[in-house]
């Protein structure tokens, strides 16, 4: 076994985004201590925003740097710490998504998170930063241990974020449920990883993929055990049906910005991890014989989970009256949709499944961040989070209602929005690989989801409200709502630049399969 | 004068521009808002009329076709075509912006223009939230024009979906008591229809939509939904080999796509038993919206069925001709019988729509030019007649507050003009020679008679029943004792009378001078008929 490679000074520049966030988190924690008790904690929120933007700039620089490596004829990848940490464009793309989403969440909560509700407002803002670091580590790891460490960093901080409404019983209950299920998920994943280590003798993903083919001959059952344990763990983390039961409770109990963080960043990070691990199977297992059979079994398991998540998520949301629970179940269905590209055969002829995945993820970020921002503003003015809080929005806040309509169209996958094209590309991939059953389920659940998302529209445009009072939207929240609505529509009218961009910097061979 | 102007694009996008302008107008001036909406529906109507005047059936609509690349999305070349020996230099998914017009779509474009403009006039009965109403209305109009003019599968689908959202609002906000249920049912049924359609379209794009361009370094492959490419690849016997086999449309997949398209457009048409949603919409939506719904949206089903199911899969159509004819006969009789027993006038009209759409199916099942022309003629004529009917329903409901047949009666005494128009519309609906309804029914039945005599005969029974239900309801409304509370009723105002006169005039004109439309359609089906002859042998 090769000696562990230590971190050198020159490596730190490839860790710049993560380090920037760590520094920002520490500074903001100190600032929170120093600031007088009565001073507004919004300052810390703005500070967090600056930290996120700085990290984003560093990631952008990495993308540029890797691109010039390609131009120089080298592999566009930087291996740190002996390959356990990989800076590649898959990671960079997802990091940008995570950072952008968190920035939107922070901006939306400035002005809507009230001290009466969240007594430890300062903590709320600076705890988001380590959580994002965790997500970024997950997107960048090349080693099972690194993956796990990133995941725990994300999980533990999100447990706190969920429970940050200290005085609310629901919040406490949600945090407790999240700790228990999150812990269970971690245990399953870790147990599966230990089997993987056992049969291959390494925790390095690239070594595992080299050794897995041989290991299969001797330890066929154990390989199945390893992957199925990990699949169950990921399904719990992603809230894929039938492992989704915690999601509505936790989403409902958590303060809305934290919910939106769970729905977007935590979910995206779990997907990053899933892709990192499962994509290696394509290289580990050949395309013939027993190896192909095992691979097909594993991907079939994922496809079944995706189908179940789409069906159960939408079916559960049909009669849902609570807006947050509804969005939680919609998140279950969307996790299923995001999983579809991974389950498709990569070596037959279809669009690069990562562009499909990343494109839909970007659309998902905007539609969800926007919808949660509207929900924050609406529930703040009506004092509850039931669907009926949206009643009469057409005259109480006509422009917000219009923006919400655009966001809902994107969620429902109606043209011309980002959600529409995201689903279209995923469907096209499914049809080209002849996975017609998955395409049919995706379509059927999409139709049923019209009913779900239009329940907001029915309230907004067809019911009169409990009061005629205008819905006050704080300026930062308003900016987020309009940014998200505009981005959702823009992604639908002109998806080309972003797809070209993804295609230009991301390459399956170089980013995933290169050692 | 309009040679270098993208007329088709103007027709499609002017209503959308109108929708945006409407959003900027003050919200309490209903007359101003209606005036603007009328302006933005009349301009595309005039353009469509100009199109009609300068369209040459023999040459087809090639001169008006518009084409641009909207999106060209990179696909994964790394994993693509490994082991096939083809060196792929570029591999893309292309979404085109393609508009075109031919003998099949032009009559429906004209119908859209006429009915939309008349519906704006009829919107005088809309009582609230005018600004939202008219902007949604104009958005809907863009969707409808787009459906009839789009020549790219994805573009067609987007326009098709674009009609869904405004229609949901129009039913759900301005409808009668059960409006929300009707809107939900509309959304779910039509959503299902378009999902099924999308699946069929994606299969078509993935198998038939390829274009291979040989370049020096290898082949550049692109996938897209261009209608002409689909037709060309279908007709090209070498296409399967060219597409390295695996990608090509197998015979089973052809059947799958054909049946999917049949169901998708069958929901819209509607074919029994997929019709329940449209009854609700007929009964609950405001009359000016039902004018659009019954007058145009149902015709999108006809159009889609002919344009995609028939033109792309003539062989499948030919072997299922009997099935489709039977579906048509079931539609005709089911609709007619149920229309005979309805107590609600709007439901009589709804069931009569089911019945009349059955005749369209008979025309399609005939597989000959007469039948196809009859189907389209019937679609246009039914569009005009049902628009006129619901225009009258709207005016009567404003005055009487009811549309139940037994609560009405003797209206000819107080509103002679409206009652007279109602009678004319009724006569047109039951297929009286000299009015447009007759021509469509006659051509469709004549077309089918050559191949399926018995089914034609049974279908013709529906025409007989039409006389029963139309006369039963129309006479009960216009004659008989006048309930006292209606004694002081006033006849139609100018703004109501104008669309009534225009629609009646068109119905009469098309009834006595059918070649106005049939000339237009004459060469529209040449390609399809040739296919039918070569593949199926007549």
pLDDT, tens only, A18-46: 889 999 999 988 988 888 877 777 888 88
Residue A460 clears pLDDT 90, i.e. is over it = no
- How large is the average pLDDT for residues A181-208? 90
More confident call, A356 vs A116: A356
Q: What percent of chain A is modeled with pLDDT above 70?
A: 93
Please tell me the total count of domains within chain B.
1
Q: How far apart are CA B201 and CA A47, in angstroms?
A: 50
User: Is residue A253 within 8 Å of residue A198, measured between CB atoms?
Assistant: no
Residue in B with minimal Cα distance to A414: B161
Closest-CA distance, B465 to chain A, in angstroms, reads 37
Per DSSP, B532 falls in state I
B183 domain residue, yes or no: no
Residue B245 clears pLDDT 60, i.e. is over it = no
Q: Name the residue ranges covered by the structural domains of chain A.
A: 13-513
Q: How far apart are CA B535 and CA B501, in angstroms?
A: 47
Closest CA to A449 of B281, B195, B265, B269: B195
Instruction: Take residue B350 and report the two structure tokens written for it.
Output: 């709804």
Residue B92 clears pLDDT 50, i.e. is over it = yes
User: Is residue B366 within 8 Å of residue B372, measured between CB atoms?
Assistant: yes
Q: How far apart are CA B477 and CA B344, in angstroms?
A: 11
Per DSSP, B303 falls in state H
Closest CA to A373 of A13, A113, A82, A83: A113
Instruction: Take residue B183 and report the two structure tokens written for it.
Output: 């809107």
Residue B443 clears pLDDT 80, i.e. is over it = yes
Instruction: Take residue B259 and report the two structure tokens written for it.
Output: 């049946």
Residue A250 clears pLDDT 60, i.e. is over it = yes
Closest-CA distance, A346 to chain B, in angstroms, reads 7
Residue where the block lists tokens 């002017």: B14
Chain A positions contacting chain B at CB under 8 Å are 346-353, 355, 394, 409, 414-416, 420, 424-425, 427-428, 431-432, 436, 439-440, 443-444, 446-448, 450-451, 454, 457-458, 461-462, 494-496, 499-500, 503, 507-509
Residue A311 clears pLDDT 90, i.e. is over it = yes
pLDDT recorded at residue B536: 54
Residue in A with minimal Cα distance to B224: A428
Q: How far apart are CA B138 and CA B38, in angstroms?
A: 10
Residue where the block lists tokens 């970020």: A365
User: Is residue A158 within 8 Å of residue A262, measured between CB atoms?
Assistant: yes
B158 in contact with A, Cβ within 8 Å: yes
> Residue A62: in which H helix or E strand, if any?
helix A42-71
Residue in A with minimal Cα distance to B248: A432
Range of weakest confidence among A137-146, A348-357, B142-151:
A348-357
Closest CA to B480 of B533, B420, B405, B424: B405
Complex-level ipTM: 0.87
Interface mutation vs chain A, best among B23, B75, B88, B174, most A CBs within 10 Å: B75
* Chain B residues in contact with A450 (beta carbon < 8 A): 187-188, 191
Closest-CA distance, A399 to chain B, in angstroms, reads 11
Collapsed DSSP state (helix, strand, coil) of residue A22: helix
Range of weakest confidence among A223-227, A316-320, A381-385, B77-81:
B77-81
B136 domain residue, yes or no: no
Tens digits of residue pLDDT in B452-484: 888 888 888 888 899 999 998 998 888 888 888
> Residue A87: in which H helix or E strand, if any?
strand A85-87
Q: How far apart are CA A118 and CA B12, in angstroms?
A: 51
Closest-CA distance, B128 to chain A, in angstroms, reads 12
Please list, in sequence order, all residues whose beta carbon lies within 8 angstroms of the beta carbon of residue A37, skipping any fewer than 6 positions away: none
Euclidean distance between the first and the last CA atom of chain B, given in angstroms as a whole number: 43
* Chain B residues in contact with A439 (beta carbon < 8 A): 199, 202
**Domain that residue B448 falls in:** 320-538
Share in percent of chain A as helix, strand, coil (round to 5): 80, 0, 20
User: Is residue A293 within 8 Å of residue A228, measured between CB atoms?
Assistant: no
pLDDT recorded at residue A83: 74
Residue A347 clears pLDDT 60, i.e. is over it = no
> Residue A80: in which H helix or E strand, if any?
strand A78-80
Closest-CA distance, A317 to chain B, in angstroms, reads 15
Neighbours of B530 (CB within 10 A): 12
User: Is residue A76 within 8 Å of residue A243, measured between CB atoms?
Assistant: no
Q: Do A443 and B199 touch (CB under 8 A)?
A: yes
Q: How far apart are CA B357 and CA B329, in angstroms?
A: 10
B505 domain residue, yes or no: yes
B165 vs A414, A439, A500: nearest CB: A414
User: Is residue A408 within 8 Å of residue A454, measured between CB atoms?
Assistant: yes
Taking each helix axis from N to C end, the angle separating A220-238 and A205-218, rounded to the nearest 10 degrees, works out to 130
User: Is residue A135 within 8 Å of residue A268, measured between CB atoms?
Assistant: yes
- How large is the average pLDDT for residues B353-370? 90
Residue in B with minimal Cα distance to A438: B199
Closest-CA distance, A286 to chain B, in angstroms, reads 14
Q: Do A461 and B172 touch (CB under 8 A)?
A: yes
Tens digits of residue pLDDT in A251-307: 988 888 889 999 999 999 999 888 888 877 766 776 677 778 888 888 889 999 999
Q: How far apart are CA A27 and CA A33, in angstroms?
A: 10
Q: How far apart are CA B430 and CA B440, in angstroms?
A: 11
Collapsed DSSP state (helix, strand, coil) of residue B240: helix
Closest CA to B124 of B33, B212, B193: B33
More confident call, B143 vs A6: B143
Range of weakest confidence among A418-427, B28-37, B526-535:
B526-535
Residue B326 clears pLDDT 80, i.e. is over it = yes
pLDDT recorded at residue A514: 54
pLDDT recorded at residue B140: 93
Q: What is the pTM of this model?
A: 0.91
Q: How far apart are CA A302 and CA A341, in angstroms?
A: 10
B203 vs A347, A409, A431: nearest CB: A431
What pairs with residue A80 in β-bridges? A85
User: Is residue A465 within 8 Å of residue A391, measured between CB atoms?
Assistant: yes
Closest-CA distance, B143 to chain A, in angstroms, reads 11
pLDDT recorded at residue B82: 46
Write phi, then psi, for B214 (nearest 5 degrees).
-80, 125
Question: A-contacting residues of B 78-97, CB under 8 Å?
Answer: 78-82, 93
B196 domain residue, yes or no: no
Q: How far apart are CA B296 and CA B123, in angstroms?
A: 16
Instruction: Take residue A207 and report the two structure tokens written for it.
Output: 């070594």
Q: How far apart are CA B392 and CA B408, in angstroms?
A: 14
Strands of the B88-99 sheet, one edge to the other: B66-74, B88-99, B219-224, B210-214
Interface mutation vs chain A, best among B77, B159, B202, B260, most A CBs within 10 Å: B202
User: Is residue A413 within 8 Å of residue A445, measured between CB atoms?
Assistant: no
Instruction: Take residue A492 and report the two structure tokens written for it.
Output: 């639908």
Residue A434 clears pLDDT 60, i.e. is over it = yes
Q: How far apart are CA B389 and CA B396, in angstroms?
A: 11
Q: How far apart are CA A503 and CA B157, in angstroms?
A: 26
Q: What percent of chain B is modeled with pLDDT above 70?
A: 93
B212 in contact with A, Cβ within 8 Å: no
B154 domain residue, yes or no: no
Write phi, then psi, for B489 (nearest 5 degrees).
-70, 145
pLDDT recorded at residue A350: 44
Question: Which runs of consecutive H residues, i.e. helices, occur in B29-129?
Answer: 30-54, 106-122
pLDDT recorded at residue A510: 58
Tens digits of residue pLDDT in B28-37: 888 888 888 8
């Amino acid at each position: 076994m090769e000696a562990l490679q230590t971190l050198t000074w020159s490596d730190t520049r490839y860790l710049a985004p993560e380090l920037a966030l760590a520094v920002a988190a520490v500074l903001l924690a100190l600032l929170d201590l120093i600031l007088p008790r009565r001073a507004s904690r919004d300052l810390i929120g703005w500070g967090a925003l600056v930290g996120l933007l700085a990290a984003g700039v560093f990631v952008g620089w990495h993308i540029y740097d890797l691109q010039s490596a390609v131009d120089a004829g080298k592999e566009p990848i930087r291996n740190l710490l002996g390959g356990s940490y990989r800076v590649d464009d898959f990671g960079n793309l997802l990091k940008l998504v995570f950072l952008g989403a968190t920035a939107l969440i922070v901006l939306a909560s400035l002005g809507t998170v009230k001290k009466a509700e969240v007594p430890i407002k300062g903590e709320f803002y600076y705890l988001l930063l380590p959580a994002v670091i965790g997500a970024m580590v997950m997107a960048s790891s090349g080693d099972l241990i690194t993956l796990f460490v990133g995941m725990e960093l994300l999980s533990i901080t999100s447990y706190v974020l969920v429970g940050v409404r200290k005085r609310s019983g629901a919040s406490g209950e949600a945090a407790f449920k999240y700790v228990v299920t999150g812990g269970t998920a971690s245990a399953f994943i870790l147990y599966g990883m230990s089997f993987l280590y056992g049969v291959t003798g390494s925790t390095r993903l690239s070594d595992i993929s080299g050794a897995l083919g041989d290991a299969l001959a001797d330890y066929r059952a154990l390989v199945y055990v390893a992957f199925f344990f990990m699949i169950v763990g990921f399904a719990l983390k992603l809230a894929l049906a039938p492992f989704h039961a915690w999601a509505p409770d936790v989403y409902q109990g958590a303060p809305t910005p934290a919910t939106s963080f769970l729905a977007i960043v935590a979910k995206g990070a779990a997907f990053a991890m899933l892709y990192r691990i499962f994509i290696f199977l394509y290289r580990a297992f050949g395309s013939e014989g027993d190896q192909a059979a095992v691979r097909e079994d594993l991907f079939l398991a994922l496809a079944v989970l995706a189908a179940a998540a789409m069906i159960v998520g939408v079916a559960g949301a049909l009669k849902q009256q609570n807006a947050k629970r509804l969005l939680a179940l919609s998140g279950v269905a969307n996790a299923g949709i995001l999983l579809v590209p991974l389950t498709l055969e990569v070596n037959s002829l279809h669009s690069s499944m990562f562009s499909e995945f990343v494109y839909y993820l970007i659309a998902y970020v905007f539609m969800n961040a926007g919808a949660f921002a509207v929900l924050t503003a609406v529930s703040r003015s009506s004092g509850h989070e039931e669907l009926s809080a949206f009643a009469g929005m057409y005259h109480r806040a006509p422009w917000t209602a219009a923006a919400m309509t655009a966001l809902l169209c994107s969620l429902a996958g109606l043209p011309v929005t980002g959600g529409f094209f995201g689903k279209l590309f995923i469907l096209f991939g499914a049809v080209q690989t002849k996975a017609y059953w998955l395409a049919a389920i995706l379509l059927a659940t999409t139709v049923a989801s019209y009913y779900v998302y239009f329940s907001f529209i029915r309230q907004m445009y067809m019911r009169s409200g409990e009061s005629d009072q205008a819905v006050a939207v704080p300026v930062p929240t308003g900016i987020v709502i309009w940014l998200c609505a505009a981005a959702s529509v823009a992604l639908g009218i002109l998806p080309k630049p972003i797809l070209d961009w993804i295609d230009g910097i991301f390459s399956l061979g170089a980013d995933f399969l290169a050692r | 004068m309009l040679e270098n102007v993208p007329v088709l694009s103007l027709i499609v996008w002017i209503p959308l521009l109108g929708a945006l302008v409407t959003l900027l107008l003050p919200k309490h001036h209903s007359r101003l808002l209606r005036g603007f909406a009328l302006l933005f529906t009349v301009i595309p109507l005039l353009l469509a009329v100009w199109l009609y005047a300068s369209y040459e059936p023999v040459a087809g609509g090639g001169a008006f076709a518009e084409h641009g690349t909207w999106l060209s999305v990179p696909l994964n070349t790394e994993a693509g075509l490994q082991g096939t020996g083809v060196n792929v230099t570029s591999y893309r998914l292309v979404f085109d912006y393609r508009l075109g017009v031919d003998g099949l779509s032009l009559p429906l474009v004209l119908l859209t223009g006429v009915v939309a403009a008349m519906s704006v006039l009829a919107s005088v009965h809309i009582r609230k939230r005018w600004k939202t109403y008219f902007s949604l209305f104009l958005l809907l109009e863009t969707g409808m024009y787009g459906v009839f003019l789009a020549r790219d599968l994805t573009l067609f689908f987007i326009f098709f979906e674009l009609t869904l959202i405004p229609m949901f609002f129009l039913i759900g906000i301005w409808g009668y008591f059960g409006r929300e249920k009707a809107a939900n049912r509309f959304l779910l049924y039509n959503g299902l229809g378009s999902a099924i359609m999308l699946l069929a379209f994606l299969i078509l794009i993935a198998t038939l939509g390829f274009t291979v361009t040989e370049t020096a370094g290898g082949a550049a492959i692109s996938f897209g939904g261009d209608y002409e490419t689909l037709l060309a690849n279908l007709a090209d016997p070498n296409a399967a080999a060219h597409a390295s086999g695996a990608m090509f449309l197998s015979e089973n997949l052809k059947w799958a796509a054909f049946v999917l398209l049949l169901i998708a457009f069958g929901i819209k048409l509607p074919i029994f038993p997929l019709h329940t949603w449209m009854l609700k919409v007929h009964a609950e939506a405001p009359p000016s919206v039902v004018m659009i719904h019954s007058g145009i949206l149902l015709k999108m089903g006809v159009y889609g069925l002919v344009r995609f199911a028939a033109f792309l899969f003539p062989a499948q159509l030919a072997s299922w001709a009997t099935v489709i004819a039977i579906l048509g006969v079931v539609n005709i009789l089911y609709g007619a019988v149920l229309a005979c027993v309805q107590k609600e006038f709007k439901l009589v009209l709804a069931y009569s729509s089911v019945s009349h759409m059955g005749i369209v199916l008979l025309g399609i099942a005939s597989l000959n030019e007469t039948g196809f022309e009859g189907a389209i003629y019937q679609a246009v004529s039914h569009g005009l007649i049902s628009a006129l009917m619901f225009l009258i329903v709207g005016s009567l409901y404003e005055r009487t507050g009811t549309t139940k047949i037994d609560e009405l009666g003797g209206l000819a005494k107080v509103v002679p003009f409206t009652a007279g128009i109602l009678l004319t519309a009724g006569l047109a609906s039951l297929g009286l020679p000299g009015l447009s309804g007759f021509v469509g029914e006659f051509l469709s039945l004549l077309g089918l008679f050559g191949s399926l005599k018995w089914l034609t005969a049974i279908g013709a029974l529906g025409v007989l029943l039409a006389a029963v239900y139309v006369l039963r309801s129309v006479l009960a409304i216009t004659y008989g004792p006048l309930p006292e509370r209606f004694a002081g009723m006033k006849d139609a105002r100018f703004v109501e009378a104008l669309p009534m006169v225009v629609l009646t005039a068109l119905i009469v004109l098309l009834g006595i001078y059918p070649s106005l439309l049939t000339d237009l359609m004459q060469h529209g089906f040449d390609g399809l008929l040739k296919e039918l002859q070569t593949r199926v042998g007549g």
